[in-house]
């Protein structure tokens, strides 16, 4: 199972594919990788490890390795000389199927009477269920987000210094542009990261961007808290008090079911947009000043 997971994740990191799938004919040890689409191994053909990210998979021939799918149903009537690991999708072993290793999936696999499994049948859970811990789990998650956004917000405002005023002004006077740019950043950045992964030169950028999404969203949330707090506590009130007031309001609202999620989403979007508008205005002003002089 560990080998199968490593093969799938390693392929995602190392392979930048310009086409949906590739395979080497007449070479049974070559991997067969599909980013999106069908991955079929016809009867009489052999491939190495089979990895499918999104689509479907049918094994009528032989896989000399493991079958690993992330979001794809798997149908096997041939032979798999390894494990079958399916994170999301239905697993069906038809009559005559032979898996020498383990079959690991979220749901119970469908195994015909004539199919054989050399290893064990195991279940995996791909999503961490905080509700399983009741109110303790929800409280732990709330505290984790609260501490993270508090630290990120304080560091952000300390670093920008006087520029924090521009962020607040952008939120007050540029509501429409802030919402528009925030939505573009919230949905566009993940898409950009995924697109970058399918090109060889863009893999480092894609991985870095996807890994930084949590921090980017935290910056947007903290910026929204600052805008709300400074709107309530104007100057000369200390900036740290204004931020704590806005942050406290958002974190209290986060405790309300459904409403908390909607407010959090709106805060991230609006905060990201306000940051972008504030940066744009600052750059425009700095360029206009020398020209005026």
Tell whether the model's pLDDT for residue 251 goes beyond 60.
Answer: yes
- State residue 125's pLDDT score: 64
CA gap 107, 88 in Å, rounded: 8
The answer to pTM > 0.85 is no
Chain CA centroid to CA 178, Å = 23
Q: Which residue in the block uniquely carries the two structure tokens 């573009």?
A: 184
Task: Tell me the average pLDDT across 39-56.
Answer: 88
> For residue 293, is pLDDT > 70?
no
Q: Where are the domains of the chain?
A: 2-123, 130-292
The 10s digit of each residue's pLDDT in 1-41 is 444 444 444 444 444 333 333 333 445 667 788 877 888 99
Q: Does pLDDT of 197 surpass 70?
A: yes
């Amino acid at each position: 199972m560990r080998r199968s997971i490593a093969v799938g994740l390693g392929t995602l990191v190392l392979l930048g594919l310009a086409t949906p799938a590739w395979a080497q004919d007449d070479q049974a040890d070559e991997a067969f990788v599909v980013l999106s689409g069908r991955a079929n191994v016809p009867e009489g053909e052999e491939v190495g490890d089979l990895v499918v990210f999104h689509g479907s998979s049918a094994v009528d021939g032989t896989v000399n390795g493991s079958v690993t799918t992330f979001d794809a149903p798997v149908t096997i009537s041939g032979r798999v000389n390894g494990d079958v690991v399916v994170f999301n999708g239905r697993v069906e072993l038809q009559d005559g199927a032979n898996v020498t290793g383990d079959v690991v999936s979220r749901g119970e696999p469908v195994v015909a009477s004539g199919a054989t499994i050399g290893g064990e049948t195991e279940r995996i859970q791909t999503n961490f269920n905080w509700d399983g811990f009741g109110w303790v789990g929800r409280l732990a998650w709330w505290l984790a987000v609260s501490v993270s956004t508090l630290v990120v917000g304080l560091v952000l405002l300390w670093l920008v210094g006087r520029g924090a005023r521009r962020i607040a002004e952008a939120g007050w006077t540029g509501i429409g542009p802030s919402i528009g740019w925030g939505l573009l950043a919230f949905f566009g950045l993940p898409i950009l990261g995924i697109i970058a992964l399918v090109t060889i030169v863009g893999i480092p950028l894609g991985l870095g961007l996807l890994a930084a999404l949590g921090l980017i969203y935290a910056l947007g949330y903290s910026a929204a808290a600052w805008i709300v707090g400074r709107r309530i506590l104007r100057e000369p009130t200390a900036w740290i008090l204004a931020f704590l007031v806005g942050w406290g309001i958002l974190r209290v609202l986060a405790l309300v079911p459904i409403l908390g999620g909607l407010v959090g989403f709106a805060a991230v979007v609006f905060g990201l947009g306000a940051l972008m508008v504030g940066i744009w205005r600052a750059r425009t002003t700095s360029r206009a000043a020398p020209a005026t002089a």
